[in-house]
Structure 1
Amino acid sequence: MVGVISSLMIVFLGQSRTMMRIQKATEMQMEVDAASRLLETAISSAEPLPLSQSSPERVVYLTGDSARIEFNAIQAIGFNSSALREIAVSIGGDALTIVQKIRRGGEADPSSAGKPVPLIAGMSAIKFEYLDSSARRLSWSANWNAPRRLPAAVRFTLSVVRDGAAYSSKGFARLDLADVPAQRAN
């Protein structure tokens, strides 16, 4: 009788550990997906307003490469209010970070340089790509620094490694305020 109960307990403990690993992996994937949805929302709200580092000769609305992006957007602050922010997203250390600078009168407020806020830890890589709709044929690029234009869309992949397991999530943000020419033939 003791042997039967012992063997059943061993089986139960093994299944319990497996279920805990599955639950932990599911929770981690949900965290990575949530970070991806947050980025989609932030990038989709990019405004065609000059970044603070723009000059009168070269006005840039959005700048980025495969590992970072910077743009202006209207962001919610508290309940029932929002404000213009200059947003920068990149990997800082091993975390995906976001920095928001307050914008007043078209200038970034120097007193609000903004501290990097980690969105998710364990980042191993991020890859941004920008859709250029100005050419005859739509094309994706690893860099964006076009004067006075927003990309038509931004797609990205987040890669996270935690406890020896790898997780990833893909995101796609369509910029409604980008100058997208009327329907094109493929």
Structure 2
Amino acid sequence: MTKKQGVILYGPPASGKDTVTTALSELDSRYAQFARLKVGTGKATGYRMGTAEQLRELEAAGDVVYSNSRYGNTYVIDAPGLDAAFEAGVPVVHLGQAAGVQALVDGYPASWSVVLLWCPREVTEQRSARRGDSDTTARLAAWDATREDLDAHPGRVWDLTVDTTTSGPQDSARLIDQLLAQRAGAATA
């Protein structure tokens, strides 16, 4: 039996996680962004909006794989949500913290392909402004935190690294799809 496959896209804000995920789902409908549980306010698209009570229940059941707070909200990767995502296809999980990558790889059994999407700080600033973010300053602070995170984990080996200033979304998606195909082939060999 082939182990279930998932993709982790790690990178700073505006590095292309949403855009590359869209290109992946256009390439193959099995790919779908994992909708993290979001406890808080603001943008709801791409999230399962939840309550503090739901978060407490997940924590009590031991079903929180990883959670972090940013932009005044709490974002949760939960085991029941991942179970449902794997039943539907190949989940694509967006993360901006190395600790989250490690927690997911260690805390949820699957064949995870970990992809570093990267862009320079000034590109994050330009992309954030172009898309009309009202919190570009906070996104730049998150970019800085991601850079510090990478510097603090210099031994982290990525399955694939993509510079989204030189690789377009469709090319990035093809590279990720090829990586998963290679890993699936190696697992069955």
Kindly indicate which of the two structures has a greater share of residues assigned to strand.
Answer: 1
The alignment's TM-score, normalised by the length of structure 2, stands at 0.25
- Answer with 1 or 2: which has the greater Rg: 1
Which structure exhibits the higher relative contact order, with contacts defined as CA atoms closer than 8 Å and separated by 6 or more residues?
A: 2
| Structure with greater helix percent | 2
Superposition TM-score, scaled by structure 1 size = 0.25
